[in-house]
Amino acid sequence: MGKETMSRGALIVFEGCDRCGKTTQCAKLKEKLVDEGEDVELVKFPDRTTPIGKLINSYLQMTEELDDRVAHLLFSSNRWEAMELMKKKLKAGTTLIVDRYAYSGIAYSSAKGMDLDWCKNPDVGLIQPDTVIYLSVSEEIASQRSHYGGERYEKLEFQKKVHKNFLELQEPYWEVVPGDASVDDIHKQIHSIVRKTINQSKSKPLLKLWT
């Protein structure tokens, strides 16, 4: 077995509309996997701590206006700036739980009317996830959750378009998990999917997204 395929960590991505419960589920999953002795870390996009991330944060909080294309490319750059470190960690055996990835970039930008293929291009070549957990929750329920409406995209009609776009981006390695059940039931379902993924990914090479 070559070095590249020696017991690597899995890349687990969570996707969904705003307030679908991703962040809660990411934290619960991490806690459970750590209890089971896994080496696991959380990653979140946008990463609002980098200089690019700070600009994205101002844009989302609507204190900064940007051309739609510029905003889209910044979100993508924010992922690319994390790629080398993520690759290193995965190869060293760390499983990464990622809260939003390229699919968010495309689903949100194309909901503004931008061309889907144009939106896809900048993220071609990122590390391909081993599993994408898509938390599917009705926009009506999401909109009733606390803090909804504070940021740029948290509007009901917009979120409906985002949801539709996400479903168009589904790949064979996606798992759609209904997000309207109890937090614990959703967690159990996700954990069983992820356990399988971690075991199956160990000997697989890392692939490049959409290549």
**Residues contributing to the site for ligand TMP (CB under 6 A):** 18, 45-46, 60, 75, 100, 104-105, 108, 151, 153
Q: Which one, 166 or 198, has the nearer CB to ligand TMP?
A: 166
* Cα 139 to Cα 157: distance, rounded to the nearest angstrom: 9
3-state SS assignment for residue 76: helix
For the bound state, the minimum distance from the C-beta of residue 105 to ligand TMP, rounded and expressed in Å, comes to 3
* Cα 79 to Cα 72: distance, rounded to the nearest angstrom: 11
Q: Which one, 91 or 153, has the nearer CB to ligand TMP?
A: 153
Contact 81, 74 (CB under 8 A): no
Strands (E), the chain: 11-16, 40-44, 95-99, 131-136, 174-178
User: What single-letter amino acid sits at 101?
Assistant: Y
Q: Which one, 8 or 120, has the nearer CB to ligand TMP?
A: 120
Say which residues have a Cβ less than 8 Å from residue 154's Cβ, sequence separation at least 6: 18, 19, 143, 148
User: What single-letter amino acid sits at 140?
Assistant: E
Q: Which one, 40 or 106, has the nearer CB to ligand TMP?
A: 106
For the bound state, the minimum distance from the C-beta of residue 146 to ligand TMP, rounded and expressed in Å, comes to 13
For the bound state, the minimum distance from the C-beta of residue 185 to ligand TMP, rounded and expressed in Å, comes to 22
For the bound state, the minimum distance from the C-beta of residue 45 to ligand TMP, rounded and expressed in Å, comes to 4
Q: What DSSP line would sit under 177-211, residue for residue? A: EETTS-HHHHHHHHHHHHHHHHHHHTTSPP-BTT-
For the bound state, the minimum distance from the C-beta of residue 107 to ligand TMP, rounded and expressed in Å, comes to 8
Count CA within 13 A, CB hemisphere, residue 129: 25
Q: Which one, 95 or 109, has the nearer CB to ligand TMP?
A: 109
For the bound state, the minimum distance from the C-beta of residue 75 to ligand TMP, rounded and expressed in Å, comes to 3
Q: Which one, 60 or 198, has the nearer CB to ligand TMP?
A: 60
